[in-house]
Amino acid sequence: MILSDVEISRLVSSGRLVIRPFDGSMLTPNGIDLSVGEEAMIMESASGGRRVDLERETDFELPPGSHVLVVAEEYLELPPDVVGTVNLRSTYARRGLLIPPTVVDAGYRGRLTLALRGAPYPLRIRRGERIWHLLLLESHPVGRPYSGKYQGSTGLTPAP
């Protein structure tokens, strides 16, 4: 079952679901919006690229067709019976951005590093811009909550 804004608010209020920072304006009827954090990386190879410090620069340009990693501003803690899936907000898809299918496993704790594929033309992305939508789904409690290599991420985390 997809969690509604009412259920998400209830879970956050009870402390079972942690979203920091959290305010009601990020709620949508069926999820929450996630925003661009303080760091991005324009990938130049599978193992790295040019880091962009969005604490110094307020925005950056995604080169046409580029592969970019961006840390989300929000810190999440999902309970063992909630799983998430991340999508682009419609406005950004209409501008030509793409993201790969992204699942946030039950039990995940940390800040997400999300991949973006640039449009066929340059686009600017600003820190704090709400470009992703996190859809939260109720699950049967898992026997083994997520404990992989990205657990506890606090900043941009490229693949090893």
Give residue-wise pLDDT tens across range 57-106. 999 999 999 999 999 999 999 999 999 999 999 999 999 999 999 999 99
Is 157 contained in some domain?
no
pLDDT band at 145 (very low <50, low <70, confident <90, very high): confident
Q: Looking at residue 118, what is its pLDDT?
A: 92
pLDDT band at 27 (very low <50, low <70, confident <90, very high): very high
Number of domains, the chain: 1
Average pLDDT over residues 137-142: 92
Cross-strand partners of 11:
none
Is 13 contained in some domain?
yes
Q: What is the C-alpha separation between 132 and 36, in angstroms, rounded?
A: 9
Is 160 contained in some domain?
no
Q: Looking at residue 31, what is its pLDDT?
A: 97
Is 128 contained in some domain?
yes
The CATH number for 23's domain is: 2.70.40.10
